[in-house]
Amino acid sequence: MLQPIPTRIYRITHLDNLLTTLQYGLFCRNHSAPPVTNYRNIGDADLTSRRGNRVVPVPPGGVLNDYVPFYLGPRGPMLFRISKHSPQADIIYLVSHVQHLQQLDIPFVFTAGHAYDILTTDDQYYTDPADLASLEWADIYAKPMWKSTIQNPHLQRHKQAELLVHNFVPVNALVGIGVFTEHIRTQVEQMVYQAGLILPVAVVKDWYYE
């Protein structure tokens, strides 16, 4: 599989976080952000904490928690874990694409696999968008299953390849929102309207688990 153009990036979040995101944008863990009392964290708290120790070996440097992470493909292991104990309909996708970030002159780093994984070595961190073509796109978009095999021991790691935006993602960097059901689409469209924005919202069941 060749690199998709435009090259979408995907961040999942809880529906409860959307209004705040539409108002303020997305902040990395280490960046001071507006106080939010009702933020719903959907990630693994232990892993999020440990990412603060993983150095980013390319400019602008720092550690993983200095960046807002997106996945390069949908329907990843993180959503699978969430789906086992929470309704998927409560999870939405915030979508942008690499070419839009370039138009906005927003700096980013990307990886050939899960950014924290020890097997994602320093030479698998990139800053040149031309290197996107060398990633394992068939693994990144693998479905229905993405578990590693003897024939492809890195499939699950590749599936979780990341694009990392330094410090902050402004709202105008988003190009759309993906949801699981029509009911949630209606709610999200109302929130987008309430925020005074124009942002397409689509039902994309293929990005979720059965």
Residues designated catalytic: 51, 162
Q: Give the residue from 175, 208, 200 showing the smallest Cα distance to 97.
A: 175
Is 11 labelled as part of a ligand binding site? Answer: yes
Helices of type H across the chain: 18-24, 45-50, 77-83, 98-103, 137-140, 155-159, 182-194
Is 13 labelled as part of a ligand binding site? Answer: yes
Alpha-carbon distance of 178 to 12, in angstroms, equals: 9
Which residues touch 33 (CB under 8 Å, ≥6 apart)? 24, 27
- Exposure b/e, 125-140, CB count within 10 A at least 16 = b: bbeeeeebeebbbebb
Alpha-carbon distance of 158 to 141, in angstroms, equals: 9
Q: How do beta strands 201-203 and 176-179 pair? A: parallel
Going by the annotation, the residues of the binding site are 11-13, 51
Going by the annotation, the residues of the binding site for NAD(+) are 11-13, 51
